[in-house]
Amino acid sequence: DIKHKGGNQYRLCVRDSALEDGEPLFLKERLIREALTRGWLCLYLQPIFQAQSPDLDAPSLLGAEALVRIHHPDLGLIAPNEFIAAAEKTGQIIDIGNWVLEEAAVILSEWQKQGIETRYLSVNASVMQFRDQGLLHKLESLIERHPIRPRQLIIEVTENLMLDNEDSLRFQLEAIRKLGVNLSLDDFGTGFSCLSYLHNLPFGTLKIDRSFVMNVQTSRRDRELARIIVDMGHSLGMQVVVEGIEARGQAEIFRAMGVRAFQGYHFARPMPLQAFNARYSSSSETRMCLLRAATPDD
């Protein structure tokens, strides 16, 4: 299959999924194995802000999304787009996913210790983690072993997940909700957006994909589409989060639509945990808690 790349450039597209990123799967398998055994995985946190803050230049922090990277000693930082798909093919996503959840529990426990009671941490999960109820058991064990409030943990799943066995999935999602853990439907609008799933599965949050945000200022059609999704989420009682906000104008449009939260480069990029903790220290939140505790009729 030969594709035209513009000018007189042509690119040969090999229709073998293992080669689709230009690198054989076994190389990625080895990279991931090394990352897992040598401790090269790391989490970056991207802040998520209150969208209805009166001052969009200083919105208040609601929480963060945990985003995994490989910190390679020679190659530097490797983004998830380079290895998550491969990890799903090899099954290594189970080990990566478990590592991410353990790290998330440590982060939440630390926040808990600092008196941060409301900030949430959102973690991505892949379809494979739902096999044999693995994710459910993992979450049960996390809650048992760590002093975390389940409410502060959110599991993000992409809507493509919904193509899997629906009954088994529904059972697990409901069991996870019963643990108190929240569920968020990620990348909404990019896959097979099946309305009955939205209606029937216990998602509290809907995350609108970046592709609906990019042209929201210039394209009336995109703006109307975005509005329909936001309204639909709200009428189903969900909180709507918009990701990929890169400009203030985009934030203003979505704020007017009444969305709950913003995430995007315009506000903050994903950053290492230390940087996140330094920038969003607990002091301001602790003060708020003390004030609240001092108000008897609250």
The interface with ligand C2E within residues 3-32 (CB under 6 A) comprises none
Q: Does 116 bind ligand C2E (CB under 6 A)?
A: no
Q: How far is the CB of 123 from ligand C2E (least distance, A)?
A: 6
Mark the segment that binds ligand C2E (CB under 6 A) among 29-37, 121-129, 170-178, 223-231: 121-129
Q: How far apart are CA 240 and CA 238, in angstroms?
A: 6
Q: Which amino acid is at 60?
A: S
Q: How far is the CB of 73 from Mg ion (least distance, A)?
A: 27
Q: Does 243 bind ligand C2E (CB under 6 A)?
A: yes
Q: How far is the CB of 68 from ligand C2E (least distance, A)?
A: 4
- # residues contacting Mg ion (CB under 5 A): 4
Residue 140 contacts which entry, ligand C2E, Mg ion, none (Cβ below 5-8 A, type-dependent): none
Residue 81 contacts which entry, Mg ion, ligand C2E, none (Cβ below 5-8 A, type-dependent): ligand C2E
∠ Cα 187 190 196 (to 5°): 85
Q: How far apart are CA 47 and CA 25, in angstroms?
A: 33
Helix (H), strand (E), coil (C) string for the chain: CEEECCCCCEEECCCCHHHCCCCCHHHHHHHHHHHHHHCCEEEEEEEEEECCCCCCCCCCEEEEEEEEEEEECCCEEECHHHCHHHHHHHCCHHHHHHHHHHHHHHHHHHHHHCCCCCCEEEEECCHHHHHHHHHHHHHHHHHHHCCCCHHHEEEEEEHHHHHCCHHHHHHHHHHHHHCCCEEEEEEECCCCCCHHHHHHCCCCEEEECHHHCCCCCCCHHHHHHHHHHHHHHHHCCCEEEEECCCCHHHHHHHHHCCCCEEECCCCCCCEEHHHHHHHCCCHHHHHHHHHHHHCCCC
Q: Does 186 bind ligand C2E (CB under 6 A)?
A: yes
Q: Does 51 bind ligand C2E (CB under 6 A)?
A: no
Mark the segment that binds Mg ion (CB under 5 A) among 91-99, 185-193, 198-206, 264-272: 185-193
Residue 264 contacts which entry, ligand C2E, Mg ion, none (Cβ below 5-8 A, type-dependent): ligand C2E
Q: How far apart are CA 87 and CA 162, in angstroms?
A: 19
Mark the segment that binds ligand C2E (CB under 6 A) among 106-114, 167-175, 242-250, 279-287: 242-250
Residue 233 contacts which entry, Mg ion, ligand C2E, none (Cβ below 5-8 A, type-dependent): none
Mark the segment that binds ligand C2E (CB under 6 A) among 22-30, 118-126, 195-203, 223-231: 118-126
Q: Does 159 bind Mg ion (CB under 5 A)?
A: no
Q: Does 187 bind ligand C2E (CB under 6 A)?
A: yes
Mark the segment that binds ligand C2E (CB under 6 A) among 224-232, 244-252, 274-282, 287-295: 244-252
Binding site for ligand C2E (CB under 6 A): 46, 67-68, 79-81, 84, 93, 97, 100, 124-126, 156, 186-187, 210, 243-246, 263-265, 270
Summarize as ranges the residues that interact with Mg ion (CB under 5 A): 124, 156, 186-187
